Amino acid sequence: MRHGRKSASRLFDGRKLQVAEEQSSELIVAIEPIPANVGDGRDLPAVIDQVEEHSGLTVERVIADGAYGTGDNRAESQAREIDLVSPLAVPADAEVAKANFTLDSSTNTVTCPQGHTTATYKAVKDDQGRPTKTFTFDRATCAACPLFSRCVRSKTQGRTITTHYHEDLLHAARERQRTQEFKVTYKLRAAVERKIAELAGHGAQHARYIGTAKDLLQAQWTGAVVNLKSLFKLFHGDTDHMRTVLMAMANG
């Protein structure tokens, strides 16, 4: 068992359920318990592999919440020619957020929202040992800026900006997030929230047994029940037709 949290005040023990559904039919195609203390998006490549293996189809697009939109997931999706539609967090003070700074990798410079540019940086490594850069603005320049108190946290340096290993992909994602195409596409994700609520209504929110294997069995049986309900709706109660279609799918 692990400890997780929904927010600063809402804690829980146990596991989380990771759920994927096919958008047009709203059928569940993956449901997997994951530890409560890991990020939701950590296992996205594994979920995609599972869906492709079990369905025999190729995933072309994934619509997921912001937890799945990490730089690593975007790089993996790009390499597999998968369109990952996932929002990046909108900072509370956008005017001084990193996203509002201009990073130029060709000249190794960063320009702040007030138009000041720095080329001072040091090479660092991220938590996976990959090379990145930390840029530092001149303290005196920052101190004279009207945004200083909101922008700078250090007592000795000016503002610092650390690049991400996949900075270009994250920048492209922020630009896309502003488009109408992104907003229309991302609205489709609401369907999986309804499915998660339905799963919770069938008891998936609380584990009845102890152990990962039994948790997985409960999750998959609950998912099967929810899928059967959806199939009855899709076939308007015509069980003979449903049986024929499902048998044809099973036989390839």
Quick: pLDDT tens for 107-139: 999 999 999 999 999 999 999 999 999 999 999
Residue 175 within a domain: no
Quick check: pTM over 0.85?
no
Among 165, 191, 213, the domain boundary falls at: 165
71 shares a domain with 100: no
Is the pLDDT reported for residue 4 higher than 70? no
10 shares a domain with 77: yes
CATH number of the domain residue 8 falls in: 3.30.420.10
Residue 201 within a domain: yes
Among 136, 165, 194, the domain boundary falls at: 165
Residue 148 within a domain: yes
191 shares a domain with 115: no
Residue 6 within a domain: yes
Residue 237 within a domain: yes
Domain count, the chain: 2
Quick: pLDDT tens for 26-66: 899 999 888 777 777 888 999 999 899 988 889 999 999 99
Among 165, 195, 228, the domain boundary falls at: 165
Note down the domain range covering 132.
Answer: 94-165
> Considering the chain, what is the average pLDDT of its residues?
90
114 shares a domain with 11: no
SS (H, E, C) the chain: CEEEECCCCCEEEEEEEEEEEECCCCEEEEEEEEECCCCHHHHHHHHHHHHHHHHCCCCCEEECCHHHCCHHHHHHHHHCCCEEECCCCCCCCHHHCHHHCEEECCCCEEECCCCCEECCEEEEECCCCCEEEEEECCHHHHHCCCCHHHHCCCCCCCCEEECCCCHHHHHHHHHHHCCHHHHHHHHHHHHHHHHHHHHHHCCCCCCCCCCHHHHHHHHHHHHHHHHHHHHHHHCCCCHHHHHHHHHHHHCC
Residue 170 within a domain: no
Quick: pLDDT tens for 197-231: 999 999 988 888 888 888 889 999 999 999 989 88
65 shares a domain with 100: no
